[in-house]
Amino acid sequence: MTSPANPILLAQNVHKAFGRNEVLKGIDLQVAKGEVMCILGPSGSGKSTFLRCINHLEQTDRGRIYVDGELVGCREHNGRLYELPDREICSARTKMGMVFQHFNLFPHMNVLENLIEGPVRVMKTPKEAAVERARRLLAQVGLANKETAYPRQMSGGQQQRVAIARALAMEPKLMLFDEPTSALDPELVGDVLAVMQDLARSGMTMVVVTHEIGFARSVAHSVVFIDGGVVVEAGPPQEVLDNPQNERTRSFLSKVPN
């Protein structure tokens, strides 16, 4: 893989352990502006942990992660890293939107309220401007008629599309998706993937942890296969998915629907 000159995301030698369980064992990855990177791998391989380290929901034990040229979650002084205060970490997270497996919408708020909460409270966006943008985003994800609905009144696929719109409402430079279709009934997956495909075509920089091989093949600029906390194979989708060089990659892909 060629290295972008000024990557939006740069991960260098990222390590993370939970007790004696070393989950990430030195991840090196970079993503250019406008690039879609899909991360594949078996359960427990470290994919979701790596995603959570990017936006500092998990602290790394070693290594550095930069988003848009800035260290995530810490500052460096005399070669040592120091954790930033929570307020500064929250401010840095506004550069990133994250979509989880299980939506994480506020159940006591309707759709429109879910979308404007972050911009108004965190970014201090005037409410009128936040509402206008929220309505544009709901139209973009095909839910313009749902702004007064509550999460409990919506299908899983609709909730996930609201979650995508809510992340976009913060105007992030990088979107992170942690298996966004894994909790959905099969017939609801297509609508969510279609929204993500449109987002990719619009030029949004995206890192997507997924088992949707067809999505990765059609949308990704690069595909990364992680196993055992290390990058086993990485490259363009036509190489990694259609002509994998590593036996572990071939074994994994043979067991995943294409």
Closest C-alpha to 30, from 72, 2, 58, 63 = 2
Least confident span in 19-23, 163-167, 185-189: 185-189
Task: Please tell me the distance from the alpha carbon of residue 63 to that of residue 61, in angstroms, as a whole number.
Answer: 7
pLDDT tens, position by position, 84-142: 888 888 777 888 999 998 888 999 999 999 999 999 998 999 999 999 999 999 999 99
**Token couple for 40:** 């594949």
Query: Looking at this protein, which amino acid is placed at residue 253?
Result: L
Task: Please tell me the distance from the alpha carbon of residue 88 to that of residue 82, in angstroms, as a whole number.
Answer: 12
Contact 179/48 with Cβ under 8 angstroms?
yes
Q: In the chain, which ranges are continuous DSSP H helix?
A: 47-54, 86-93, 111-121, 127-140, 156-168, 186-201, 213-219, 237-240, 247-254
Contact 253/213 with Cβ under 8 angstroms?
yes
Q: Quick one: pLDDT band at residue 4, thresholds 50, 70, 90?
A: low
pLDDT tens, position by position, 186-228: 889 999 999 999 999 999 999 999 999 999 999 999 999 999 9
Q: Quick check: 168 pLDDT over 70? A: yes
Please name the residues in contact with 84: beta carbons below 8 A apart, sequence gap of 6 or more: 73, 74, 75, 92
Share of the chain above pLDDT 70, in %: 98
Q: Quick check: 3 pLDDT over 60? A: no
Geometric angle at alpha carbon 28, from 195 and 81, rounded to 5°? 105
Q: Does domain 1-95+186-258 have CATH number 3.40.50.300?
A: yes
pLDDT tens, position by position, 174-184: 999 999 999 89
Least confident span in 74-78, 160-164, 239-243: 74-78
pLDDT of amino acid 79: 78
Averaged pLDDT, 51-66: 93
pLDDT of amino acid 5: 65
Task: Please tell me the distance from the alpha carbon of residue 254 to that of residue 164, in angstroms, as a whole number.
Answer: 30
Span(s) in the chain for CATH 3.40.50.300: 1-95+186-258
Please name the residues in contact with 196: beta carbons below 8 A apart, sequence gap of 6 or more: 164, 177, 180, 206, 208, 215, 219
